[in-house]
A and B are shown apart, each in its own frame.
Chain A
Amino acid sequence: MSTATFLVQCLNAVQYGLLLFLVASGLTLIFGIMGVINLAHGSFYMLGAYLAFALAPWFGDWFLTRLVVGVALAAIFGYLLEWVFFSFLYERDHLQQVLLTYALILVFEELRSLAVGNDVHGVAAPGWLAGGFHLGGLMEYPWYRVFASAACLVVALALYAVVNRTRLGMMIRAGASNRDMVRGLGVDIRRLYRIVFAGGVALAALAGMIAAPLSSVYPGMGSSVLIICFVVVVIGGIGSITGALVASLLVGFVDTFGKVFFAEWSGVGVYVLMAVVLVWRPEGLMKRGF
């Protein structure tokens, strides 16, 4: 493999990993803060992608505006969903959470089918991001993919800033380590959970919106991303955002280079990685924390 090819593959790995991070960070937040297993998280990713498709005719090339609107809509949806459904899950045991969120996936899939049908849809990248830059005669690397990676990095930094530098972040971290104490101190833990949940949904939806031009929009796109996100969260450590970032990048590399070198076994590669990490560190790479 030439140097140029190697570098391009690294770019591919990083871009895939960063997108995964966006979805996984939402999952690990919900897990870590509220202790809820949410199998429907992949559906929020799908929601974002379908939002990108639905909003496209209204916003045309105003891509960033579309992203902002989409994220806002998803956050509102998440807020309402938590209020109406998820808030009842906190008292329930893990088994019931698994089953209720599994049933939620079925419902979402069917609602999607009823609302927009089962066809595959394309979403165009905005005009100002079309085309790519030449990589030394090898191939073109699309600008949109660069944008996707950059956007994910920006979000990651913003997440870090919010969690570590704001009051809200402080309450989130406190609620993660001892929710009863936080409640005792007068913080409305229910509203906090609602905000965190809405944030998690918004992150996943944003990932879906960014990914839509890359992966097209089709039924079942939620399930495939969900399982990989679970692996990322297990490897990174539940509740750890830094862990999710490291794990996402690891998974990105294993998947990308696995496809090139071990075509048949590339699907298994990610799980072998997880098994190795578990033998070494049963609680994931990073301890609970941020």
Chain B
Amino acid sequence: MKTLRLACASIGAASFLIAAPAFAQGASGPVKIGLMLPYSGTYAGLGNAIENGFKLYVQEQGGKLGGREVQYFKVDDESEPSKGTDNVNKLIKRDNVDVLVGTVHSGVALAMAKAAKDNNTLLIIPNAGADAITGPMCAANIVRSSFSNWQPGYAMGVVAAQKGIKRAMTITWNYAAGAESTKGFTEGLEKGGGKVIKDLNLPFPNVEFQALLTEIAAQKPDAVYAFFAGGGAVKFVKDYAAAGLDKSIPLYGPGFLTDGTLEAQGASAQKMLTTLHYADNLDTPRNNAFRKAYALAYKAQADVYAVQGYDAAQILANGLKAVGGDLAKRDQLAAAMRKTVVDSPRGKFTLSAAGNPVQDIYLRQVNGNNNELRSIAVKALADPARGCKL
């Protein structure tokens, strides 16, 4: 009997917990934005930067988008794909958000995309680069303000071919982002007459690279393309230099290899070339103003993630303006979001039919603690969106 009473009490408490947020909302009013980002764990810094960028734009519009107030709902996705569906359902079904914004980790983003498709909720992805999202999983109500894994890789491959690289090796973790990035590089390189002689990979998130570095030394390629992020990026670049390989075999990679990691990588990353759709020192009025405003508001330097968050808000704002702030016109809103020209700190870009930015990819070089712009690697690069039926 005691257990029955306990059970009833807990169910009662739980129902209140679940129902409470629903009671709080009115029928119309503010735009409900669901932010599903990593607020804990390795990617917490990225999640915060994205949110900061997003809110900065909204603030610049006077706190309103399309003439309506904005209300935020936040869920910490912990970069855990296994909890992705549950977490996104909290926003869609519990909080009844109008727009979903998220996330960093591709695996979680795929879950979000699936849920957004199933429930016809608008989704703006401010980072996750999984090719599938603007590939087989593409949908009219899903857009991305960041990049696809293929884009920086392809651009790097083009640059490598231009530098006369004939034999290259790739190395990455054994997961989708790594595979897609190296595939992009391979395509870009082969288009320019080069060849990838071997693809090395190791299980994610293993960072014992010694065995593979030895293999690279044995094969003596003209260049190496590496995709790692976070702690793995730090360790790989350091290990590569420690093995003396940087003296004879240039190391290339997408910007993630050196973004946010330069302080830790120190001397080992100097002079490295990377490609990304953003460079910190892009000397345009738009970027300078953005960086100044960001530094003023958050006492920190803006990075590519902040830009992606900022642009996510822009895309939404442009769409809402086009439909006069009427959220009921969901399909028109989605279409309007697709058709915008985004005046981004990275430069102006448009969205492809599949929902991915068509943008310039920059070539940057590490100098001190900065990734400095050298040139434009590829102009207005569009992701091929293979498998997208839109």
Contact = CB atoms under 8 A, between A and B. Distances in A.
Contact of B42 (A141, A142, A218): A218
A178 interface: no
A224 B201 contact: no
A116 interface: no
Which of A113, A144, A215 counts the most chain B CB atoms within 10 A? A215
B242 A140 contact: yes
Given A119-B45, A120-B234, A215-B207, A2 B218 contact: yes
Contact of A118 (B40, B210, B234): B40
Contacts of B242: 132, 140, 142, 144
A259 interface: yes
Contact of A120 (B40, B215, B239, B264): B264
Given A113-B40, A118-B41, A218-B42, A1 B218 contact: yes
B383 to A, nearest CB: 27
B285 interface: no
Given A118-B42, A120-B264, A139-B245, A259 B238 contact: no
B71 interface: no
A139 B217 contact: yes
Interface in A190-240: 214-216, 218-221, 224
Interface in A246-290: 255-257, 259-260, 263-264, 266-267
Contacts of A220: 41-42, 205
B231 A216 contact: yes
A13 B242 CA distance: 17
A173 interface: no
A97 B157 CA distance: 52
Contacts of B200: 263
Nearest to A138: B217
A266 B215 contact: no
A8 interface: yes
B28 interface: no
Contacts of B266: 122, 124
A263 B174 contact: yes
Which of A124, A134, A218, A221 counts the most chain B CB atoms within 10 A? A218
Contacts of B359: none
Interface string B195-226: 00000111101111011111101100000000
Which of B207, B231, B234, B263 counts the most chain A CB atoms within 10 A? B231
Contacts of B238: 122, 216
A118 B40 CA distance: 8
A218 B41 CA distance: 10
Which of B174, B215, B242, B261 counts the most chain A CB atoms within 10 A? B242
A221 B238 CA distance: 17
B265 interface: yes
B44 A263 contact: no
A142 B212 contact: no
A119 B202 CA distance: 23
Contacts of A144: 242
Interface in A109-149: 113, 118-122, 124, 132, 134, 138-142, 144-145
B263 A122 contact: yes
Contact of A215 (B217, B235, B243, B263): B235
A9 interface: yes
Given A2-B218, A142-B243, A264-B174, A9 B230 contact: no
Interface residues of B, number: 37
Contacts of B201: 263-264
Contact of B215 (A141, A224, A260): A260
A139 B239 CA distance: 12
Nearest to A259: B211
B132 to A, nearest CB: 21
Contacts of B136: none
A141 B266 CA distance: 19
Given A2-B218, A120-B261, A138-B218, A259 B202 contact: yes
A219 B43 CA distance: 10
A166 interface: no
Interface string B296-307: 000000000000
Nearest to B264: A122
Contacts of A145: 210
Interface string B43-66: 011000000000000000000000
Nearest to A7: B214
Which of A1, A120, A132, A215 counts the most chain B CB atoms within 10 A? A120
Contacts of B218: 1-2, 5, 138
A2 B203 CA distance: 25
Contact of B235 (A15, A138, A216, A257): A216
A86 interface: no
A267 B213 CA distance: 18
Nearest 7 Cβ contacts at the A-B interface:
A140-B244, A122-B264, A218-B231, A139-B217, A12-B210, A267-B203, A120-B231
Interface of B: 40-42, 44-45, 174, 200-203, 205-208, 210-215, 217-218, 230-231, 234-235, 238-239, 242-245, 261, 263-266
Given A120-B42, A216-B264, A260-B215, 14 more contacts: A1-B218, A2-B218, A5-B217, A16-B208, A120-B231, A122-B238, A138-B217, A138-B218, A144-B242, A215-B208, A216-B235, A218-B231, A224-B205, A259-B202
27 contacts: A12-B210, A13-B211, A15-B210, A118-B44, A120-B234, A120-B261, A121-B264, A122-B263, A122-B266, A124-B266, A132-B243, A138-B217, A138-B218, A139-B244, A142-B243, A214-B239, A215-B207, A218-B230, A218-B231, A219-B41, A221-B231, A224-B205, A260-B211, A260-B212, A264-B201, A266-B203, A267-B203
Interface of A: 1-2, 5, 8-9, 12-13, 15-16, 113, 118-122, 124, 132, 134, 138-142, 144-145, 214-216, 218-221, 224, 255-257, 259-260, 263-264, 266-267
